[in-house]
Amino acid sequence: MDILEAIILGIIQGLTEFLPVSSSGHLELAKAILGDTSVPEESMTFTVVLHFATALSTLVIFRKEVLVIFKGLLALKWNNEFKFSLKIVISMIPAVCVGLLFEEQLASFFGGKIALVGSMLLLTAVLLLLADKAKNTNKEVSFGNSLIIGISQAIAMLPGISRSGATISTSVLLGIDRTKAARFSFLMVVPLIFGKISKDVLSGNLNFQSSEIIPISAGFITAFLAGLLACKWMIALVKKSKLVYFSIYCAIVGIIAIVFTLF
């Protein structure tokens, strides 16, 4: 992978992490188009690094909310801050379990499985269409809802299912306020990504050669900058209930991906 390819993939990751179109799915499609020949483990490593970049951009955008989460956990008082922090923790449980129990199986999906990506994009399209038609309310995220949203996040670990699309759609279908759903969706993934990075660093699973440091760094920086723009944009779009356009987009890209594998 050269620097230009890494920059392109970084921009794709930064934009699609927050837009409900599946960043991992688009990365796999882009790698196929660019002719990336990485083995699944190396491909997964680059994907994790780019997700780390967008997690940092989430921290920048939601720095006040993140501070509230830390204060809530440290205070150990049954107040609104502690309850919100506990909901974030609960939402992480399904993805943590899936990630620990099926790590090798998940990594195998990140090696050019274009038909799978296309099929999952079609599923994302259906979720977004259903959410777009749901009525908006002022409902808060409950403890039970946080677990259900967490399950949707775990399922979205498959490339092609949009994490933000799945979690926001699930939240909206549960009757949760759209703005609160978007905020919860973006915040709940941050601890998971930092945990994944920490685990891979400590276990030595982040495998890349010294020659790949510059391309990976270039991808990291562009993903971070693109993520800052996309995060703000997505929050505004969710408020205006424009998810149907992303549903159409995912359906078109999904069909193209499936057809691509037939020729």
Give residue 119's pLDDT band: very low, low, confident or very high (50, 70, 90).
Answer: very high
Mean pLDDT over residues 29-57, rounded? 74
pLDDT for the residue 258: 93
Taking only the tens place, the pLDDT of each residue in 64-112 is 888 877 777 777 778 888 888 899 999 999 999 998 888 788 877 776 6
Record the tokens describing residue 82, joined without a space.
Answer: 């502690």
Give residue 144's pLDDT band: very low, low, confident or very high (50, 70, 90).
Answer: very high
172 contact partners, CB below 8 Å, separation of at least 6? 131, 134, 136, 178, 181
In this structure, how many other beta carbons lie within 10 angstroms of the beta carbon of residue 12?
A: 22
For residues 78 and 16, what is the distance between their CA atoms, to the nearest angstrom? 36
Query: Which letter, b or e, does each residue of 107-129 get, where b requires 16 or more Cβ atoms within 10 Å of its Cβ?
Result: bebbbbbbebbbbbbbbbbebbb
Taking only the tens place, the pLDDT of each residue in 227-244 is 998 888 887 777 776 788
Q: Is 60 exceeded by the pLDDT of residue 179?
A: yes
For residues 197 and 199, what is the distance between their CA atoms, to the nearest angstrom? 5
Tell me if 179 sits within 8 A of 241, measured CB to CB: no
Mean pLDDT over residues 121-149, rounded? 91
Q: Is 60 exceeded by the pLDDT of residue 32?
A: yes
Domain boundaries, the chain: 3-261
Give residue 23's pLDDT band: very low, low, confident or very high (50, 70, 90).
Answer: confident
Strand partners, 73: none
pLDDT for the residue 209: 67
Kindly report the pTM of this predicted structure: 0.82
Per the prediction, the chain carries an average pLDDT of 84
* Residue 113 main-chain phi, psi, to 5 deg: -80, 75
Q: Is 60 exceeded by the pLDDT of residue 38?
A: no
pLDDT for the residue 39: 47
